[in-house]
Amino acid sequence: MKRTSWLTTLLLLPLFLFTAQCSRKPSEPNRPKIYLLGLDGLSWEMLDPLIAKGELPLFARLKREGSWGRLKTFKPTLSAVVWTSIATGRSMVEHGIVDWTYVASKGLHLPYTASERRVPALWEFFNLYGRSSTVLHWFVSYPPDPVAGRIVSDSFPPALVTILGGARPSRFVSTVHPQSEYWPLVRRAEELKKSGEWEYGKMSTRANLPDYYELYRKTMGKDPAQAPVLKGWPQFLLYERLLDEEVDLYLPKNKDDLFFVYSHLPDTFLHFGTYYLEKEYRNYVEETVMAKPIPSREEGREFDRRMADLLLPVLKYREATLAKILARVEEENAYLVVVSDHGFALSPRGYTHQNLPEEMDPPSGMVLLFGPGIRKGQEIQNGSVLDVAPTILTMAGLPVDRKMEGKVWLQAFVKPPEMKFRSYPPRKKGAAGKAEDLDKKRIEDLKSLGYL
Ligand SMILES: [Zn+2]
């Protein structure tokens, strides 16, 4: 009898240790999980007036119960460049992604891919320490790095659109890592297609968004399918709908140390949202304000306030995503980071963030930090997009790469965290190949956003 129980214990011991290991993982004090929601183009100029009106209760709560700040960003203020800086803690000269596209051999313009990135991204640093990541739609994440966890690269959404248009799915397996995760996503997308979920009207209603297409027809009396940026809206909305699917699929059972969700939605809307300003005000701005070399501070603020009102439905849509993430964060006593790459500013060249006049600074991005030991209502002073990566490494208890150019936001912590530094090995070049026929599609997307 005694011998049997002894034997049972021995046999069960590895299993016990294994389960203990698994169940300990989320609550391990030195290994907190970090959830990040990236919202392209979002700024406090959009959030603050809406919060003041009692809108966006979750953003308001996070600002009250977490630390928040403006983030200095850099020229050229191109999303691909800045999101790579956020993920690497390095400026573009160092990380090597300096534009949307580069001229390859034979004078061919190709979109930048992760193969051209010269330095490691956060998920690679985490991987070195045996920690895993989920990364969804991050800019310049194709080909996905072969890290523990999963990366649904930014080439997956355009690949899916191509597949829904009739292309063979097997051509695009390399857009997701590991490839075993690719097929369930494609199958789910095909199911949704059958049930009509990808139809523009349905996506728009589900997201509680105004029908911007119809609204444009009514207010401008013109065909939305010809309107710059707006013409690409149904497709960009599909990318976001796809993101919702992925969040719902991966978030509830997440075991990864890093969970990164990137949404392009605020930026997409702000690139065409000026169509919906009151006609009189729009004419006034075009004829007087934009005729000046630089609009005054008050003129800029007034414009921001009006754009914030228009952006509200989009932000409510993404606030619902934030609510889902926050539920996990609170359950697991994890950290939450909400971050953007830049804001928008009124200029003689329109409401934009790129190609601003020389005298104008690039409009700041935003950050919110929330979690164990993060100060409540604390403003993070002099923040920069370069600070995100070293701060995340520090929150995770990992050493900061000495080559990173930003600083850790120590002021955001009640008790300053222990700082560790090391020199990390240079980035291993990804083994994955080039996008299969996706370059053309991705360049079309960039053009439809007015980026190229
Ligand atoms: Zn951007």
- State the pairing for strand pair 258-263/34-39: parallel
Are the CB atoms for 412 and 67 separated by under 8 Å?
yes
Residue 431: its pLDDT value, please? 45
Residue 346 above 80 pLDDT? Answer: yes
Are the CB atoms for 247 and 136 separated by under 8 Å?
yes
Q: Ligand 1 center to residue 336 CA distance, Å?
A: 20
Model pLDDT for residues 162-180, shown as the tens digit of each residue: 999 999 999 999 999 999 9
Cα distance between residue 319 and residue 266, in whole Å: 12
Residue 47 above 50 pLDDT? Answer: yes
* Cis? peptide before 293, omega within 30° of 0: no
Cα distance between residue 85 and residue 259, in whole Å: 18
**Nearby residues of 146 by Cβ (< 8 Å), 6 or more positions away:** 177, 178, 430, 431, 432
Residue 442: its pLDDT value, please? 78
**Nearby residues of 286 by Cβ (< 8 Å), 6 or more positions away:** none
What's the pTM? 0.90
Residue 14: its pLDDT value, please? 47
Q: Ligand 1 center to residue 129 CA distance, Å?
A: 30
Model pLDDT for residues 105-120, shown as the tens digit of each residue: 666 777 788 888 999 9
Q: Ligand 1 center to residue 142 CA distance, Å?
A: 17
Residue 12 above 60 pLDDT? Answer: no
Domains of the chain and CATH, by start: 30-448 (3.40.720.10)
- First-to-last alpha carbon distance for the chain, in angstroms, is 77
Residue 128 above 50 pLDDT? Answer: yes
Q: Ligand 1 center to residue 41 CA distance, Å?
A: 5
Residue 22 above 50 pLDDT? Answer: no
Three-state DSSP class for residue 66: coil
- Please state, in angstroms and as integers, the Cα–Cα distance from residue 362 to each residue in 70, 76, 238, 322, 421, following that order: 12, 8, 29, 26, 30
Q: Ligand 1 center to residue 396 CA distance, Å?
A: 26
Are the CB atoms for 380 and 412 separated by under 8 Å?
yes
Q: What percent of the chain is predicted at pLDDT more than 70?
A: 90
Phi-psi region of 196 (alpha: psi -120 to 50; beta: other; left: phi over 0): left
